[in-house]
Amino acid sequence: MANPKKKMSRCRTHRRRSLWKMSPPSVIRCPQCHEWTLPHRVCPSCGYYDGEVVLTIKEEK
């Protein structure tokens, strides 16, 4: 039977959950405009990804 051998203590469960929250959010600097963006994503402020314009962002008037 796929069951845990021992009941996990409340302390251990809480510790694991708190550790998950400890992991820092992965953000990178855009090489084009040096804004903070998520990795493997098109930059929302300049529309560049991998040195090419992927999105054309309309400039505010």
Q: How many residues bind Zn ion (CB under 5 A)?
A: 6
Could you tell me which residues come within 8 angstroms of residue 57 by beta carbon, excluding any fewer than 6 positions away?
44, 45, 46, 47
Contact call for residue 49 and Zn ion (CB under 5 A): no
Contact call for residue 42 and Zn ion (CB under 5 A): no
Contact call for residue 55 and Zn ion (CB under 5 A): no
Contact call for residue 33 and Zn ion (CB under 5 A): yes
Quick one: how many helices (H) and strands (E) in the chain?
1, 4
Residues shown for the chain:
61
Contact positions vs Zn ion (CB under 5 A): 30, 32-33, 43, 45-46
